[in-house]
């Protein structure tokens, strides 16, 4: 298989001759082998594992995103990704950085929604005056 990991503004990794992939979804982890049927999966923040004959198992910490398999091509599109050799350290990194950033983003969205609704309320009252 050919694995391509895409970030919003660049290609994070392009790996050829991948023999297996393990990814995490909300329903649990699942594996992909070269002859598996095509499909799409929503990924949760976690560890994506791929294996090649040359490198062995490689671990990628990925943020929420989507995985698409079409024939031998596997595209993974995520917001953030990091590569590492120590699985424990990557898991800690995911929990510390990715999940905390998601909580901050949710708080920021909440504040922005309040600002927008306040602006619209003032605008409507201004139009009626």
DSSP percent split of the chain into helix, strand, coil, nearest 5: 35, 45, 20
Phi and psi (nearest 5°) for 27?
Answer: -90, 0
Q: Which domain holds residue 83?
A: 2-128
**Count of the separate structural domains present in the chain:** 1
Helix (H) or strand (E) holding 19: strand 18-25
pLDDT in tens, 26-78: 999 999 999 889 999 999 988 899 999 999 899 999 988 999 999 999 999 99
What sections of 53-98 are H helices per DSSP?
Answer: 87-93
CA angle 83, 59, 13 (to 5 degrees): 50
CA distance 2 to 75: 8
CB 24 within 8 A of CB 46: yes
- The CATH number linked to 124 is 2.60.15.10
The pTM (predicted TM-score) of the whole model is 0.72
Q: If phi over 0 gives left and psi between -120 and 50 gives alpha, with beta otherwise, what is residue 56?
A: left
pLDDT digits (tens, 9 = 90+) for 87-126: 877 877 777 776 666 666 777 777 788 788 877 777 778 7
């Amino acid at each position: 298989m050919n694995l391509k990991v895409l970030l919003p503004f660049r290609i994070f990794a392009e790996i050829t001759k991948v023999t297996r992939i393990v990814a995490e979804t909300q329903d649990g982890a699942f594996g992909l082998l070269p002859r598996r049927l095509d499909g799409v999966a929503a990924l949760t923040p976690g560890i994506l594992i791929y294996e090649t004959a040359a490198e062995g198992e490689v671990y990628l910490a990925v943020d929420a995103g989507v995985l698409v398999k079409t024939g031998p091509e596997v595209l993974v599109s995520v917001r953030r990704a990091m590569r590492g050799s120590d699985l424990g350290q990557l898991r800690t990194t995911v929990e510390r950085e990715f999940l905390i950033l998601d909580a901050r983003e949710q708080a920021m969205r909440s504040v922005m929604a309040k600002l927008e609704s306040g602006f619209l309320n003032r605008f409507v009252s201004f139009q009626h005056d």
